[in-house]
Copies of this chain bind each other. A is one copy, B any other.
Amino acid sequence: METRREQIYSTAGSLFSRRGYAATSVRDIARELDLQGGSLYAHIASKEDVLWAIVADAADRFFAAARPLAASDAPAAARLRGMIHAHIGVVTGQIERATVFLQEWRFLSPPRREAIAARRDEYEGLFRATIAAGIAAGEFAPTDPKLAATLVLSALNGIPGWYRPDGGLSAEAIADHFADTLINGLARRV
């Protein structure tokens, strides 16, 4: 029971992720739904509103997946491992929307772009704080938590560039490997 509007978001997400927002026209979206170009505007107010709906929804999913893990009382390394798995789960499970979130948000108008920039920084803060806690607890070697969080998230956010759902590598296998390598990289030498 998908509403027309949800169909539009889904189709737009697919097209935006493949061709980019700027290179996708509202008529491209309409065509995939067997509608006339102008008919889309019975359901949406503007092309940018569609982008915004996709981006804001994806941001919510990342927070919903990672925040509970960041807030748990497990050791920092275990929390970080869980957050890496959760993040990769969103990226691979919603690959089109995640790609649009990661790559196309810069086409939002300034107020919305700034809102997303703020949310991204807040989200990165979950990783920063977890890494900082791990350093304080002696689990991780002393390092710049901000730079380390950026490294971790950059590695994870590169996944849409090469991941194929039907490839030989499961999201779980990728998450295990990435978590092993990254956490090992942060770990204190014994």
Q: A23 to B25, alpha carbons, bound, how many Å?
A: 12
Interface residues of A in 146-172 (CB under 8 A from B): 147-148, 150-151, 153-159, 161-162, 169
What are the residues of chain B within 8 A of A174 when measuring CB–CB?
147
Closest Cβ of chain B to A156, distance in Å, is 8
The oligomer's copy count stands at 2
Contacts of A181 in B (CB 8 A): 143, 148, 151, 182, 185-186
Q: How large is the interface on A (under 10, 10 to 19, 20 to 34, 35 or more residues)?
A: 35 or more
Nearest chain B CB to A52's CB is how many angstroms away? 17
Rounded to whole angstroms, the CA-CA distance of A54 and B138 in the bound complex is 46
Interchain CB contact under 8 A, A23 and B154: no
Tell whether A144 is near chain B: CB-to-CB under 8 Å. yes
A contact residues vs B (CB 8 Å cutoff): 20, 22-23, 103, 106-107, 141, 143-144, 147-148, 150-151, 153-159, 161-162, 169, 174, 177-178, 180-187, 189
What are 22 of the A-B contact pairs (CB < 8 Å)?
A20-B22, A22-B22, A143-B177, A147-B174, A151-B158, A151-B178, A151-B181, A151-B182, A153-B158, A154-B155, A154-B156, A154-B159, A154-B161, A155-B155, A155-B158, A157-B158, A181-B185, A181-B186, A183-B185, A184-B184, A184-B186, A185-B185
